[in-house]
Amino acid sequence: MSKLTHIDAAGQAQMVDVGAKSITERIAIAQAVVGMQPETLKLIIEGGHKKGDVFAVARIAGIQAAKKCADLIPLCHPLMLSSVNVDLEADTTASQVRITVTCKLAGQTGVEMEALTAASVAALTIYDMCKAVDRGMVIEGVRLLEKAGGKSGHYRADS
């Protein structure tokens, strides 16, 4: 395993210097899953929620979170994202919403944290909008599914 890049020789936190890295196309795909009661999912799907379109608000929240990642995660670099896509899929069989976020850019550092942050905040937004009808919702499965670009190359999570 490689050493932690955000810790210097004295054990102090540091922001990694990416100045000498090549600019490459980079992509990261992350997910989160929100489990809920079937009635809650039905309310979301049918658009009957009093607070409005849950998916539309969660999508916007995810995009905004990706853009604000460097403000939330102390050692992240501010990035010029070229694309953020937040996909929300209702699974009525499992009574859950699967959130998949894809972030892209041409830059000197990866976009994994932006994708993970976007998926997490989209999930939290669904919870926030639906907590009045279902406090037992569960957010789980927040993880990186895939990343490509940069020196470390391609990564794909096991299914």
Residues classed as catalytic: 128
Q: Residue 131 is encoded by which pair of tokens?
A: 């907590």
- Which of 111, 104, 97 has its CA nearest to residue 141? 97
Amino acid found at 118: A
Total residues found in the chain within this entry: 159
DSSP codes joined into one string, 29-57? EEEEEEE--HHHHHHHHHT--TT--HHHH
